[in-house]
Structure 1
């Protein structure tokens, strides 16, 4: 894609014999082993990858951590319970874990980030220099962002912040709250999975607003391989082509795919 190393900041890898969570929102039709992911990176000129902890498998982070241990071109986030000890988290950090993923889009009753347990957990995340990767519908993001900003952690909002077309699209309160969070200097946004938004035009609008308010230094790109629930309709090259459509300026794309994610995830 470019003459500089490209970072895919959002992907998943798993085997079918991994323990599926009882609350999993999707049952993968096929395995997505790490070797297949690395082959997709190589075939498309992508150097580095960041795996996203998958709530499909609950707190079973072992496969992703082992992949990072064996392949230093990878990093990962993990799904953890808030009582995870600092010792356990430090061991994970040594193996390539860079943060915790809060994937609460399919959770009806989310935990209270201002509870005692989560205040301690967020302090441990901050002490380690880890990040919180956050995914939910835009309407539910504001209270999370309030708590995370108060805790002083680095935040990476996933999937464009998922603006809601029913409440104004990029003008909806949740997406506007994401833009304000970026202004704090501790929040980044992933231009990942445009195919998950309500329309291609909404993805274009969101990308344009994020570029205007955040700039490429606060944005990263991710493929979302292997495209859960869209396995038969999305291909890896298509996600790169979509990025080119969303960010036509080559200099901005280089910041988003190389310079910004290298500093954020691999420094």
Structure 2
């Protein structure tokens, strides 16, 4: 009986340790999701400022025959940027994103830029052509650095030609599954979606209009990439929060089961000890029955 009791006690201690780990992971995931959300307003304000600058620059277009620049060379290829999770315990988060990215290829020659090593591993197993890969951020404060690396890699690839379209896929934060996936077209850059500034004093410029618009478009794409990184990071941590909440429920159920089993075994052990003591009490000191 004591062997069974000690075994249940050991299992109970192990599950209690697991409950502490799950609770800690749940807390970390929630904190990181909040941190990412808190930084979204800043990057969106930056994007709005650049959008206003593009609108102001577009008012100069009538006097410039060069028109808006073409940032991607029309040769039929496509780049698909996929933002996945870096760490585990996120359910089918990566699988959903990789499957959606795979559907983007169609008849085009497609190269994939992956952020998040776990997603890249799944893509390699599926035979997808990965041209560039980088780890997903571990903290929201690392977003600008990843945005720089991703933007630099994208424009280095565009400079070599053979690409006329760039698409980005990422998840958005929500507390339940399945995840919501956003698909954005980065290139060709759609200048028509920016409202032209009302007539007034023309802005002062020192660059030719096509070059100015190209620079502003590149900055705007950078803000879109940074925003997507934050949204994906928040979504990853909310997926982990959801998984840890489910795990916490299962751990609590197991704890209740083991606690009940421990109490039953302990009661049986106490009962056995009482019976043994009672049996000894009815015997004479010399070993004869009364």
TM-score scaled by length of structure 1? 0.26
Comparing both structures, which one devotes a greater share of its residues to helix? 2
TM-score scaled by length of structure 2? 0.24
Larger-gyration structure (1/2): 2
Task: Name the structure, 1 or 2, with higher relative contact order (CA <8 Å, separation 6+).
Answer: 2
